[in-house]
Amino acid sequence: MEALTAMQPIIDAFTYLTDPTHWSGATGFPMRIAEHLGYTFLAVLCAVLIALPIGMYVGHTQRGASAVLAVSGALRALPALGLLTWLAISIPRGISWPIIPATIVLVLLAVAPLLAGVVAGFDSVSRDVVYSARAAGFSERQILRHVELPIAAPTILGGLRSCVVQVLATAVVVAYIGMGGLGRYLIDGLAVQDYARMVAGAIVVTLVALVMDLLLAAVQRWATPAGLRVKGNG
């Protein structure tokens, strides 16, 4: 009996998930998933535009890596909900009000693992390889594009993979300030004590994050040069 009681939320969530009415309309799972992915990809795109140039400069020049990694570590520790609440209160409301504080929070969270991944990727490139390319007459741009980036790409993609999964998991908080996404199931379910809706939303968030992680893992493996892949397996 106790086991059945413990499993009841899962059973109720499964019933909620298999109800066709929850898979159509503006509040159905497909629309909420699309909104959630939209918030995630916007934040990740902004993070790439910020972290990639900084990480490439730091990695190539070997300057400021300690400071960058320290900042990256500090960004990982940011309390997402607390920061979102503070920004939502501080930023004046307007046409684009909800998306601005939400994007700022998600971008800050996304930058940390991506920046660390880019710096770590460049750090994994043997200095002897760089010196040899330089001695062979390669320009700094050619070294960056044709030597360092191809070798660092798998590690950079690993940082991107961590970045995407972290943002996907954290983007549920944007529902707290009235936005959409899969976080609506948690916020709206909590408001009316509909625990089946909350568990169903949590399950879908987990599945979406898992699928994205598997897809990016495949891309990361594909981007790994054959020589490095064999070396890693050995």
Consecutive 10-residue averages of pLDDT for the chain (234 residues)? 66 90 90 95 95 91 83 83 88 76 92 91 88 88 89 91 93 91 93 92 94 92 68 47
CATH number for region 28-178: 1.10.3720.10
Cα–Cα nearest to 127, from 139, 116, 135: 135
Sign of the CA dihedral running 45, 219, 117, 143: negative
Domains of the chain, by residue range, sit at: 28-178
Which backbone phi and psi does 92 adopt, to 5 degrees? Answer: -60, 140
Class of residue 2 by CB neighbours under 10 A (exposed 0-12, middle 13-18, buried 19+)? exposed
What are 77-133's pLDDT values in tens digits?
Answer: 888 888 998 988 888 777 567 889 999 999 999 999 999 999 999 988 888 888 898
Q: Are 36 and 168 in contact (CB under 8 A)?
A: yes
Two tokens, residue 140: 């700094």
Q: What is the pTM of this model?
A: 0.86
Q: Give the integer Cα–Cα distance in Å for 136 and 118.
A: 25
Q: Are 101 and 87 in contact (CB under 8 A)?
A: yes
Q: Give the integer Cα–Cα distance in Å for 58 and 68.
A: 8
Q: Give the integer Cα–Cα distance in Å for 35 and 97.
A: 16
**Confidence at residue 221, expressed as pLDDT on a 0 to 100 scale:** 86
What are 117-133's pLDDT values in tens digits?
Answer: 999 999 888 888 888 98
